[in-house]
């Protein structure tokens, strides 16, 4: 009987999955390509132009993303004026490669989902560019920084605008490369170089997942375009779809720092703060959520993969929150929080049609308030001579009034204070989670409580409590070029919830992600809301008792419980990676090199030819090694013959 139910459910679901069938781009939409081209042009001019562009490069680098923002806005207004049915527009630029069945076009797709992303990337991106003019004012390599930022923006736009998975992969690799360059921007710091490398290596694992998923899609469907795959996915077997889904999830885990590929995000904070705000809070790390939401036509038919998404998301949202509780470095605290919040988004995306829209909604509000707080943290660091240790802050609210107020808006939004943007978005995800699965819902609620705790701790340690900085430090408010973006982002953090008014965002996204009838949660919605708010209040109150009522030592106490030690050590994420991957890997390489050197390679490398002296001549050094080479040829031949015969007899 249960099979019967499942079958009808599946048939029912198929009915709801929208097929991507865009119309040809015209009017304002024919400018779509410019959205990517403008920042790309900026990157080219700034990176190739050399020192001639030092003087004005940062202005150009800021103006071009603003241009992209304007076009995105025009397109958005245009799309609002259209009927719900014609809100998908595609622009064909040229055939990238086409041979037989392998047909990949440089195609762009503009639909409600990419519309939201475009506004977020170009809008928040432009604000962060403006902020960086002030933040990087004294850096001798400022021009290059803006060049990399523009490159990143262009790649990110490619990622969300492409109409096929190969183009998405191009953007995906592009943001990875730009992020690598930006994390390691201060390469003179060995920690920054190491962090860049770590992010790069871990992301390759994710990219491998995405690459395999694309190959599998191509082999299964014969196409990689969204329209093709979405039209054909209902015909594929569930096993195949589950595999594609899981591989896509691996890709998403790498980019979005989800367990088990989370270890790079905290280290990535070595990059300049605007980078953390743009890449590691508002845009790139949310690419995984985009990927899963975009691939709804796969995941809706792949229940196992969908369950995997929910599990990963739930673990990550708690994992990140726990890390956030123990960090004294303000940026790492925020990074832990980012990980946790993306966990919420992934959770929403993993919950299926009911959750996609809320995942994107939370992604947008999070983009506002987390960029706001990162930039706020940058402003605090600016004031504190680049000290990032919150234990050295305290009592800054009077000295940095603008930073304080804007940061507070972000704080209230992230903990979900009623009326602020984060309140609406997180509440909705928890509500859907409780409806779908009670355990996941309860864990998500607990996560909200922990969020209340660590964010209150951060707020108190930084702006309240007694001053703990040394006498030589003179905290001062940042210049207007930095505070104005903060104010704008703070306003968005407060008002972002407006997108939910009249269920607007859900209806707007429904052409992309489908629409389901509202299902009643186990408790009335208002009761759930009250419970969540109470849990958050509990967490915040606990933090207040622990940090405001007691003195905070300047040095982190060492005699702490096991739990705190574990959280400080990133829940041993690195140690786990080390044992499972790094050490066996490096031992394998060493062993192979050793074998190669001893058995096969001899001491060819100049050892024979030059160092041992010219007089030795060839005979002496050579014969032995050629013999061993020949032996390997003979051995190989023998193996080939034997296997071929053995297998076929």
Partner 1 sequence: MPDFGKPTIEYVELIPLFVVFGAACLGVLVEAFLPRETRRVPQVLVTLVGLAGALGATIYVATDVDKHADGAARGLVGAEGSIIVDGPTLYLWGLVLVFGILGTALFAERRLEGGLSAFAGQAAALPGTEAERIAATKGLDHTEVYPLLLFSIGGMLLFPASGDLLTMFVALEVLSLPLYLLCGLARRRRLLSQEAAMKYFLLGAFSSGFFLYGAALVYGYAGSVSLSDIDQAVREGTADHTLLLVGIALLAVGLLFKVGAAPFQAWTPDVYQGAPTAVTAFMSAATKVAAFGALLRLFYVAFDAERWSWQPMLAVVAIVTMLLGAVLAVAQTDVKRMLAYSAIAHTGFLLTGVIGAQGSGELGDNQYTSLEGVLFYLTTYGFASVGAFALLTVVRDAGGEATGGSSWSGLGKRSPLVAGAFAFFMLSMAGIPLTSGFVGKWAVFTSAMSAGFWWVVLPAITASIIAVFFYIRQIRLMFFSEPDPDGAAAVTEPSLLTTGTVAICLAATLVLGIVPGPVLDLVVGAGEFIR
Q: Which residues of the chain form contacts with partner 1 (CB under 8 A)?
A: 94-102, 166, 169-170, 173-174, 177, 180, 184, 187, 193, 200-201, 204-205, 207-208, 211-212, 215-216, 218-219, 222, 588-590, 592-593, 596, 600-601, 604-606, 608-610, 614-615, 618, 621-622, 625-626, 629-630, 632-637, 639-641, 643-645, 647-649
C-beta closer to partner 1: residue 219 or 558: 219
Minimum CB separation from partner 1 for residue 58, in Å? 21
HSE-up (13 A, CA, CB side) for residue 240: 15
Helix (H) or strand (E) holding 529, with range, is helix 525-543
Q: Which of residues 11 and 599 has its CB atom nearest to partner 1 in the complex? A: 599
Q: Which two tokens stand for residue 154?
A: 């262009």
Q: How far is the CB of 83 from partner 1 (least distance, A)?
A: 35
Q: What angle do CA 615, 617, 623 make, to 5 degrees?
A: 150
Describe the chain by its helix, strand, coil percentages, rounded to 5: 75, 5, 20
> Shortest gap between Cβ of 54 and partner 1 (angstroms)?
16
Nearer to partner 1, 188 or 549 (CB): 188
Quick one: 38 or 390, whose CB is closer to partner 1?
38
Minimum CB distance to partner 1, residue 132 (Å): 21
Vertex 88 angle, CA 80 and 163, to 5°? 135
Q: Show Cβ contacts of residue 186 under 8 Å, excluding neighbours closer than 6 positions.
A: 192, 270, 271, 272
CA triplet 189, 124, 28: central angle to 5 degrees? 130
Do residues 410 and 490 make contact, with C-beta atoms less than 8 angstroms apart? Answer: yes
Q: Minimum Å distance from CB 209 to partner 1?
A: 9
Q: From the CB of 3, what's the least distance to partner 1, in Å?
A: 29
Assess contact for 308 and 181: CB atoms under 8 A.
Answer: no
Q: What is the dihedral of CA 15, 16, 20, 25, to 10 degrees?
A: 120
> CB of 427: closest distance to partner 1 in angstroms?
40
Nearer to partner 1, 210 or 312 (CB): 210
Alpha helices in 464-524 (DSSP H): 480-495, 504-513
Closest to partner 1 by CB, 106 vs 323, is 106
Judged by CB, which is closer to partner 1: 131, or 226? 226
How far is residue 1's CA from residue 235's CA, in Å, rounded to a whole number? 24
Closer Cβ to partner 1, 538 or 637, answer by number: 637
Q: Least distance (Å) from partner 1 to the CB of residue 430?
A: 37
Pairing of strands 89-99, 102-110: antiparallel
Question: Which CB atom, from 526 or from 633, has the smaller least distance to partner 1?
Answer: 633
CA diameter of the chain: 92
Q: In angstroms, give the least distance from the CB of 260 to partner 1.
A: 17
* Residue 243, both tokens: 């595999």
Of 294, 301, 237, 304, the closest CA to residue 14 belongs to 301
- CA 248 to chain CA centroid, nearest Å: 14
């Amino acid at each position: 009987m249960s099979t019967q139910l499942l079958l009808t459910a599946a048939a029912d679901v198929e009915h709801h999955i929208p097929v991507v069938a865009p119309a040809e781009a015209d009017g304002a939409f024919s400018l779509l390509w410019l959205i990517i081209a403008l920042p790309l042009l900026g990157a080219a001019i700034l990176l190739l132009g050399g020192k001639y562009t030092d003087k004005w490069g940062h202005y150009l680098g800021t103006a071009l993303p603003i241009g992209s923002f304007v076009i995105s806005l025009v397109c958005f207004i245009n799309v609002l004026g259209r009927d719900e049915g014609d809100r998908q527009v595609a622009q064909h630029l040229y055939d990238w490669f086409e041979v037989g069945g392998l047909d990949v076009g440089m195609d762009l797709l503009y639909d409600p989902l990419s519309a939201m992303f475009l506004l977020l990337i170009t809008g928040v991106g432009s604000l962060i560019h403006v902020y960086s003019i002030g933040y990087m004012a004294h850096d001798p390599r400022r021009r290059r920084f803006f060049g990399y930022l523009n490159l990143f923006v262009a790649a990110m736009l490619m990622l969300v605008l492409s109409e096929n998975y190969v183009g998405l992969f191009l953007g995906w690799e592009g943001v990875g490369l730009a992020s690598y360059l930006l994390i390691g921007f201060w390469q003179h710091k060995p920690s920054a170089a190491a962090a860049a490398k770590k992010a790069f290596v871990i992301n390759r694992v994710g990219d491998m997942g995405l690459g395999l998923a694309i190959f599998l899609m191509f082999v299964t469907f014969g196409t990689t375009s969204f329209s093709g795959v979405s039209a054909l996915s209902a015909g594929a077997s569930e096993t195949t779809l589950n595999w594609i889904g899981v591989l896509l999830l691996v890709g998403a885990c790498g980019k979005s720092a989800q367990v088990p590929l989370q270890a790079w995000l905290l280290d990535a904070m070595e990059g300049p703060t605007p980078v953390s705000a743009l890449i590691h809070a508002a845009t790139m790390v949310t690419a995984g959520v985009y990927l899963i939401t975009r691939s709804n036509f796969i995941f809706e038919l792949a229940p196992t993969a969908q369950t995997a998404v929910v599990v990963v998301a739930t673990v990550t949202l708690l994992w990140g929150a726990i890390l956030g509780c123990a960090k004294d470095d303000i940026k790492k605290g925020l990074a832990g929080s980012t990980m946790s919040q993306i966990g919420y988004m992934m959770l929403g995306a993993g919950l299926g049609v009911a959750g996609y829209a809320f995942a994107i909604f939370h992604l947008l509000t999070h983009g506002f308030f987390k960029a706001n707080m990162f930039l706020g943290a940058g402003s605090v660091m600016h004031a504190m001579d680049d000290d990032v240790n919150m234990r050295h802050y305290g009592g800054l609210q009077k000295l940095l009034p603008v930073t304080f107020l804007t940061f507070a808006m972000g704080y209230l939004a992230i903990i979900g204070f009623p009326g602020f943007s984060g309140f609406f978005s997180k509440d909705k995800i928890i509500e859907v989670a409780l409806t779908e699965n009670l355990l996941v819902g309860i864990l998500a609620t607990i996560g909200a409580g922990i969020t209340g705790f660590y964010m209150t701790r951060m707020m108190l340690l930084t702006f309240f409590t007694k001053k703990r900085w040394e006498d030589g430090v003179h905290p001062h408010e940042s210049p207007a070029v930095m505070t104005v973006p903060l104010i704008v982002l703070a306003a968005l953090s407060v008002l972002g919830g407006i997108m939910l008014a009249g269920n607007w965002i859900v209806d707007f996204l429904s052409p992309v992600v489908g629409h389901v009838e509202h299902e009643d949660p186990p408790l009335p919605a208002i009761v759930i809301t009250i419970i969540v708010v109470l849990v958050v209040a509990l967490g915040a109150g606990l933090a207040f008792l622990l940090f405001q009522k007691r003195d905070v030592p300047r040095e982190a106490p060492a005699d702490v419980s096991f739990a705190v030690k574990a959280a400080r050590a990133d829940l041993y994420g690195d140690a786990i990676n080390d044992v499972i991957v790094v050490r066996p890997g490096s031992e394998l390489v060493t062993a192979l090199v050793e074998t190669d050197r001893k058995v096969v390679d001899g001491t060819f490398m100049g050892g024979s030819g030059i160092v041992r002296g010219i007089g030795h001549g060839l005979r002496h050094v050579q014969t032995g090694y050629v013999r061993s080479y020949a032996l390997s040829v003979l051995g190989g031949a023998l193996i080939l013959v034997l296997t071929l015969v053995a297998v076929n007899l």
